[in-house]
Amino acid sequence: MSNLTRPLKKKISITMDEDLYEQLKVLAEEDGRNVSNYINLTMRRHVRSLSRGDSVQIEAASEA
| Total count of domains within the chain | 1
Q: How far is CA 26 from the centre of its chain?
A: 13
Predicted confidence (pLDDT) per residue in 7-43, tens digit: 788 999 999 999 999 999 999 999 999 999 999 999 9
**CA 47/CA 31 separation, integer angstroms:** 20
Nearest to 34 by CA among 49, 16, 21: 21
- For residue 39, is it within any domain? yes
Q: Show the domain range for 41.
A: 18-50
- For residue 46, is it within any domain? yes
- For residue 34, is it within any domain? yes
- For residue 35, is it within any domain? yes
- For residue 38, is it within any domain? yes
**CA 23/CA 40 separation, integer angstroms:** 15
- Kindly report the pTM of this predicted structure: 0.71
- For residue 24, is it within any domain? yes
**CA 38/CA 43 separation, integer angstroms:** 9
Are 17 and 28 contacting, i.e. CB atoms less than 8 angstroms apart?
no
- For residue 11, is it within any domain? no
- For residue 42, is it within any domain? yes
